[in-house]
């Protein structure tokens, strides 16, 4: 049996995230073309990696039909110009699709089946709304396996507010305002742009364009403005469009490799995978998922929450982040948490978001060589959580 090998994150990129809908950046752009752009950019930025040395392409999509179908990892690899000897496949773990793509190929690398892989995700929610074509088994409701609210993500967030009454709407709104402010500052400081790949857009009315920045952020958002927003999931509820992620289109991708192969090819390893874990929770409160998955990942790594110097947690809903922070005794404004802001501002194109978290953590590691360990974590539809723990390979963090 081959011995386990260290797995490292080499590089990550993403398209700018667009707002879904007829006026969004990518309204007339194919989902697979977003993935192709990401794969080509990864190869361009890492010339030491011969395309034939890529052993696998794993691409996630929650809705695997239309231009997100046809085993998108393989079809996008061929269209991106990788040798036809490079295989690929598709993955679905809803919001944690790209995260699962990374952990899947990491397992293969650690085992010795792969040396280098490309992993990522895409979601074009404008072309393929969440749940399109889905036919839930009637037993879910007939046998009361789940509450009807489990199938509507906004309602699960309202349920989470019920479970965590200390997470008030005012706290959720304040967290959302802070996320918008952090994203605006990160853009102003030039911290987001290096990991964005400029992407061509097409419009029959306006012609060709170029997406160079995320479409979702709303700089200048105020607490007063958020207080008046409608609560669409419950009368007098707490979840609004302002304290939740948007409906978005976009793609992400990264290069993951065995540490020794990265050195051989002259690739710069930014962080090492320490452990990962997925956990199930009641689907009615799916937002609580990152708590047990993080606890499990910490146990597997032999670490405690105090060892973690940076947290990248997906902001599907503000309440989900705040429940996580309360559980682990972390302040709402702890500077270790989402230093660049999060999905409330950037957006959340479902299956793609996991690699956005990793790419941002890798860049933050580079800025903070004194930090040794960081976490990427997210809640997942149908009642799950996913967590990956990473070790900083920059400077003092080694």
Give 6: exposed, middle or buried? Use CB within 10 Å, 0-12, 13-18, 19+.
middle
Name the active-site residue from 124, 128, 254, 379.
379
Query: What pairing do the DSSP bridges indicate for beta strands 116-124 and 56-60?
Result: parallel
Length of the chain (residues):
398
CB 18 within 8 A of CB 247: no
Bridge partners, residue 244, by sequence = 317
327 is catalytic: no
Beta strands in the chain (DSSP E): 7-14, 18-19, 56-60, 88-91, 116-124, 199-203, 207-211, 248-258, 271-280, 308-313, 373-380, 384-392
CB 5 within 8 A of CB 264: no
Q: In degrees rounded to 5, what are phi and psi of residue 58?
A: -115, 120
95 is catalytic: yes
CA 250 to the chain's CA centroid? 11
The greatest distance separating any two alpha carbons of the chain, rounded to the nearest whole angstrom, comes to 61
Name the active-site residue from 124, 128, 161, 348.
348
From residue 150, give the alpha-carbon distance in Å to each of 13, 29, 113, 158, 167. Answer: 32, 31, 38, 11, 20
Name the active-site residue from 95, 124, 161, 254.
95
Give the closest residue to 72 by CA, choosing from 91, 86, 51, 54.
Answer: 91
Give the closest residue to 271 by CA, choosing from 102, 149, 172, 393.
Answer: 393
Query: What pairing do the DSSP bridges indicate for beta strands 199-203 and 207-211?
Result: antiparallel
How far, in Å, CA of 83 to CA of 88, rounded? 11
254 is catalytic: no
**Enzyme catalytic residues:** 95, 348, 379
């Amino acid at each position: 049996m081959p011995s386990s090998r260290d797995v490292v994150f080499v590089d990550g990129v993403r398209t700018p995230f667009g707002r879904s809908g007829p006026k969004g950046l990518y309204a007339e752009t194919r989902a697979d073309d977003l993935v192709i752009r990401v794969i080509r950019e990864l190869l361009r930025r890492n010339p030491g990696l011969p395309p034939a040395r890529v052993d696998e392409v794993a691409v996630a999509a929650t809705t695997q039909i239309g231009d997100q179908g046809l085993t998108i990892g393989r079809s996008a690899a061929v269209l991106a110009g990788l040798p036809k000897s490079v295989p690929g496949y598709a993955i679905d773990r809803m919001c944690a699709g790209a995260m699962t793509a990374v952990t899947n190929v990491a397992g293969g690398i650690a085992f010795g089946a792969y040396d280098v892989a490309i992993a990522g995700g895409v979601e074009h929610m404008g072309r393929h709304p969440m749940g399109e074509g889905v036919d839930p088994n009637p037993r879910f409701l007939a046998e009361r396996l789940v509450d009807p609210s489990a199938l509507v993500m906004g309602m699960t967030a309202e349920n989470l507010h019920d479970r965590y009454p200390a997470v008030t709407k005012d706290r959720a709104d304040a967290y959302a305002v802070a996320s918008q402010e952090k994203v605006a500052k990160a853009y102003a400081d030039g911290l987001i742009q290096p990991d964005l790949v400029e992407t061509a857009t097409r419009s029959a009315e306006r012609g060709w364009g170029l997406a160079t920045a995320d479409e979702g952020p709303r700089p200048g958002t105020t607490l007063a403005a958020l207080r008046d927003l409608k609560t669409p999931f419950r009368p007098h509820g707490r979840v609004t469009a302002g304290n939740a992620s948007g409906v978005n289109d976009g793609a992400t991708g990264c290069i993951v490799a065995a540490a020794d192969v990265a050195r051989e090819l002259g690739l710069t390893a930014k962080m090492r995978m320490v452990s990962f874990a997925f956990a199930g929770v009641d689907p009615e409160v799916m937002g609580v998922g990152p708590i047990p998955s993080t606890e499990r990942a910490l146990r597997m790594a032999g670490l405690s929450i105090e060892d973690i110097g940076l947290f990248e947690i997906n902001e599907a809903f503000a309440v989900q982040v705040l429940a996580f922070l309360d559980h682990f005794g972390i302040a709402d404004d702890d500077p270790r948490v989402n230093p660049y802001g999060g999905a409330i501002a950037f957006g959340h194109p479902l299956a793609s978001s996991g690699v956005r978290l990793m790419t941002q953590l890798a860049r933050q590691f580079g800025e903070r060589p004194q930090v040794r360990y960081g976490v990427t974590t997210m809640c997942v539809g149908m009642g799950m959580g996913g967590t990956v723990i990473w070790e900083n390979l920059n400077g003092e963090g080694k």
